[in-house]
């Protein structure tokens, strides 16, 4: 089988744009995670995204465009707050949910009256979008339920036999998916937390201007954001979230049961890289040191979960991180990973 991974040079990007225009699937890097792209106006091509990922059809897709002006044909109107936020964060890791324009196919929005749009801040993604000259629908390029891919190889591992090309633009910078903000009502509502935090949004719109409900427990958020209903971020290993300093004690029981066990602990202040053993010891609890600062932790998290699967880990014990700033979005993902883990796929 041909290897679909190609370094994202100008020739490959041009070729990828042609493939997208012809209805094929192309994975590409963004600043958050890799996306699995298809031409958003081509119903059959978008259908291939759902088939390749095994994605439930009620979970809508984000449309990617290269600049603010390009959203005009896809939305019914651009709310004033959307203009303000786009001026501040686009290109960037903020997805805006707006009233849907008439030409956006139902399959993209899962039949909702809204459409999610963003301009990614990655030179390869932007060059690709400009070369395609049409909006590109792209979920994270993982099999449904798995951790999102932060490297081209992760995409190849999950979807290598199902895509026409994977543009390799190196490891992604942010490491977790974009913030999803619904701007269709008077009070914008965060539907998925990401690296653009509540405090960031409030610094732009004013303190108290954004809904910061508990997005996992709030019914209204769940109704508006179908993505919250589905399993996500789960490695093959089972995941248990632990209070700080308790992971090793909890892990010892799994070790006695004969499982291959790893604990994920934050390193000391100043540790910016992931410290992962080359192989896992069956006889003891393997320590994985995560970067200390949330910004570095977020960048390494999904790759770490995938690496531990590859090393054969059976049970992961992950220490909670402080929930301030980017810690909140990280904890959302860890909680989802713990919920969905250890279940048959
Ligand atoms: O960073 C990202 O957002 C990445 C990169 C590739 O852009 N994309 C991504 O897509 O994470 P996906 O499909 O894995 O997650 C999209 C999220 C889901 O939770 C989905 O339910 C929500 O956005 N969403 C999409 N359209 C929506 C809509 N019209 N209303 C509410 N939520 C929507
Ligand atoms: Mg996803």
Report CA 32 to chain centroid distance, whole Å. 7
Lowest-pLDDT choice from 153-157, 171-175, 186-190: 186-190
- Of the chain, the percentage scoring pLDDT greater than 70 comes to 92
Q: Among 27, 95, 158, 176, say which to mutate for ligand 1: greatest number of ligand atoms within 8 Å of CB.
A: 95
Q: Among 62, 64, 158, say which to mutate for ligand 1: greatest number of ligand atoms within 8 Å of CB.
A: 62
Q: How far apart are CA 193 and CA 206, in angstroms?
A: 18
pLDDT range class, residue 233, cuts 50, 70, 90: confident
66 lines ligand 1 (CB under 6 A): no
Q: How far apart are CA 339 and CA 186, in angstroms?
A: 33
Instruction: List 216's β-bridge partners, or say none.
Output: none
For 43, the token pair is: 């119903």
pLDDT range class, residue 345, cuts 50, 70, 90: very low
pLDDT range class, residue 339, cuts 50, 70, 90: confident
Residue 173 in this model has a pLDDT that exceeds 80: yes
Q: 3-state DSSP: the chain helix, strand, coil percent, rounded to 5?
A: 35, 20, 45
Average pLDDT over residues 62-80: 97
Average pLDDT over residues 238-253: 93
The whole-number pLDDT of residue 212 equals 72
* Torsion from C-alpha of 245, 251, 252, 258, nearest 10 degrees: -170
| Residue that the structure tokens 């937390």 belong to | 193
Q: What is the mean pLDDT of the chain?
A: 93
Task: Give the atom of ligand 1 at the shortest distance from the alpha carbon of 64.
Answer: 7
99 secondary structure, DSSP code: E
Residue 342 in this model has a pLDDT that exceeds 90: no
User: Which strands make up the sheet holding 238-242, listed edge to edge?
Assistant: 238-242, 315-319, 261-266, 286-290
Q: How far apart are CA 33 and CA 12, in angstroms?
A: 19
Q: How far is the CA of 148 from the centre of ligand 2 (A)?
A: 6
If one counts every other C-beta atom within 10 angstroms of the C-beta of residue 147, the result is 25
Q: How far apart are CA 159 and CA 152, in angstroms?
A: 10
Write down the pTM of the prediction: 0.95
What stretches of the chain adopt beta strand conformation (E)?
5-7, 26-28, 35-39, 62-64, 94-99, 114-118, 136-137, 165-168, 179-182, 189-192, 238-242, 261-266, 286-290, 315-319
Q: How far apart are CA 125 and CA 29, in angstroms?
A: 6
Give the model confidence (pLDDT) of 260-306 as tens digits. 999 999 999 999 999 999 999 999 999 999 999 999 999 999 999 99
What is the SS3 assignment for 178? Answer: coil
The whole-number pLDDT of residue 215 equals 55
Lowest-pLDDT choice from 215-219, 228-232, 252-256: 215-219
Gap between the terminal Cα atoms of the chain: 26
Cβ neighbors of 190 (< 8 A, separation 6 or more) are: 179, 180, 181, 182, 198, 201, 210, 211, 212, 215, 221
180 lines ligand 1 (CB under 6 A): yes
Q: How far is the CA of 172 from the centre of ligand 1 (A)?
A: 17
Structural domains of the chain, ranges and CATH numbers in brackets: 5-222 (3.90.870.10), 238-338 (3.40.50.11030)
For 328, the token pair is: 């909140």
Give me the DSSP letters along 211-259: B---TTT-HHHHHH-GGGGS--S--SSEEEEE-TT-HHHHHHHHHHTT-
Residue 6 in this model has a pLDDT that exceeds 80: yes
30 lines ligand 1 (CB under 6 A): yes
């Amino acid at each position: 089988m041909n290897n679909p991974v190609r370094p994202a040079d100008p020739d490959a990007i041009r070729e990828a744009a042609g493939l997208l225009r012809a209805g094929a699937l192309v994975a590409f890097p963004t600043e958050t995670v890799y996306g699995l792209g298809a031409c958003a106006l081509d119903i059959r091509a978008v259908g291939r995204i759902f088939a390749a990922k095994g994605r439930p059809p009620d979970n809508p897709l984000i449309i990617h465009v290269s600049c603010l002006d390009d959203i005009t044909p896809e939305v019914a109107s651009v709310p004033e707050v959307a203009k303000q936020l786009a001026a501040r964060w686009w290109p960037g890791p903020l997805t805006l949910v707006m009233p849907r324009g008439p030409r956006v196919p139902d399959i993209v929005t899962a039949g909702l009256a809204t459409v999610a749009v963003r301009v990614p801040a990655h030179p390869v993604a932007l060059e690709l979008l400009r070369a395609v000259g049409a909006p590109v629908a792209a979920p994270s390029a993982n099999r449904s339920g798995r951790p999102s891919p932060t490297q081209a190889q992760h995409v190849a591992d999950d979807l290598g036999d199902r895509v026409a090309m994977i543009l390799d633009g190196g490891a992604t910078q942010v490491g977790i998916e974009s913030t999803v903000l619904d701007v269709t009502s008077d009070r914008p509502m965060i539907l998925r937390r990401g690296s653009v935090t509540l405090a960031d949004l409030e610094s732009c719109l004013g303190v108290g201007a954004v809904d910061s409900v508990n997005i996992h427990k709030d019914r209204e958020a769940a109704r508006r954001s179908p993505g919250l209903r589905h399993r996500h971020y789960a490695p093959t290993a089972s995941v248990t979230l632990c209070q700080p300093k308790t992971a090793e004690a909890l892990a010892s029981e799994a070790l006695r049961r004969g499982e291959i066990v790893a604990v994920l602990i934050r390193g000391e202040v100043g540790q910016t890289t992931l410290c992962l053993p080359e192989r896992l010891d069956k006889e003891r609890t393997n320590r994985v040191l995560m970067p200390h600062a949330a910004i570095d932790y977020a960048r390494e998290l999904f790759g770490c979960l995938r690496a531990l699967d590859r090393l054969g880990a059976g049970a992961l014990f992950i220490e909670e991180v402080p929930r301030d700033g980017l810690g909140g979005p990280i904890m959302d993902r860890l909680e989802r990973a713990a919920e969905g883990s250890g279940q048959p796929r």
